[in-house]
A = this chain, B = another copy of it.
Amino acid sequence: MLYLIGLGLGDEKDISLRGLEAVKRCENVYLEAYTSILLVEKSKLEALYGREVIVADREMVEQGVESILEQAKTMEVAFLVVGDPFGATTHSDLQMRAKQLGVTVKVIHNASIMNAIGACGLQLYRFGETISIPFFTDTWRPDSFYDKIKKNRDMGLHTLCLLDIRVKEPCFEALARGKKVYEPPRYMSVNTAVEQLLDIEDRRKEGVYGRETTAVGVARIGTDSQCIISGTLEELLTVDYGPPLHSLVVPGELHVMEQELLATFACNESTPRIQKDLIIDEEDEEP
């Protein structure tokens, strides 16, 4: 039996009673740690579960998943996922491979950014396609998501922008010297996302949005330190949202109640701001 268990958005206390019962029954417990990050130490999970928690990084899941599935044929195995198990394509894939091997899969759902984003005051049913914004590099500045924002906005729909997470990425310079070294983890900030979006608009000039467009920057949704700030893209550039994870919403048409709710999160004098010269560096911020 393979349990896919959502941990929710914050710390060890966001697991459901059902999830906790299951994980306590399992002989082996894996924690998926590359499509999202847990905002709590692994040791706290272990103390709560009374079980060792094995961190499953990208390599392990991509190369070693067969051994996890093999175990699940005869044992109860838990695969813990931050948020909900179906927030990332990987876990649908894992479920399918389990089914193919005749392993029973039981999913225990939880909150994920895909529904908790409702906390920002925009109605969930009025969101269109969700996009992912990857870190630009010197030579790679993709903009296909610009078209998706355009289509959503043409339909009056909101766009949830999931921001890039780079965990345990191999360092190519070190690889070239024959060493396996990993880059420090990087989590895209709302600031970087907005910069990149404005960069694309400057290139494409199709007027999908601009510096005066209202948007919502959010961080650590569902936790005690959650941060929700609405303002123009220009304003959102200057805000200090604090530690990861960050997400951004580019709204479509706003209904009256949505306007009123967004206004309660409006950027103002008491909003924490970042120093301008930090904006350039925050891509390297650590968790």
Contact = CB atoms under 8 A, between A and B. Distances in A.
Interface of A: 6, 8-10, 12-18, 20-21, 84-87, 89, 92-93, 95-96, 99, 107, 109-112, 114-116, 118-119, 121, 123-132, 151, 155, 157, 162, 221-222, 257, 260-261, 264
Given A107-B119, A109-B119, A125-B130, 8 more contacts: A9-B109, A13-B18, A15-B16, A87-B124, A114-B114, A114-B115, A114-B118, A115-B115
Contacts of A155: 128-129, 151
Given A84-B118, A118-B84, A118-B87, A110 B260 contact: no
B96 A118 contact: no
B13 A14 contact: no
A260 B95 CA distance: 11
Contact of A260 (B96, B112, B264): B96
A128 B109 contact: no
Contact of A96 (B20, B84, B129, B261): B261
Contact of A13 (B8, B21, B264): B21
Which of A10, A109, A116, A162: most chain B Cβ within 10 A?
Answer: A109
A10 B121 CA distance: 25
A96 B264 contact: yes
B109 A222 contact: yes
A257 B96 contact: yes
Contact of A128 (B10, B131, B157, B257): B157
Given A8-B109, A111-B111, A89 B14 contact: no
Nearest to A7: B16
A47 to B, nearest CB: 13
Nearest to A112: B115
A87 to B, nearest CB: 7
Contacts of A129: 125-128, 155, 157
A222 B264 CA distance: 33
A12 to B, nearest CB: 8
Contacts of A109: 8-9, 14, 111, 115-116, 119, 221-222
Nearest to A258: B92
A264 B125 contact: no
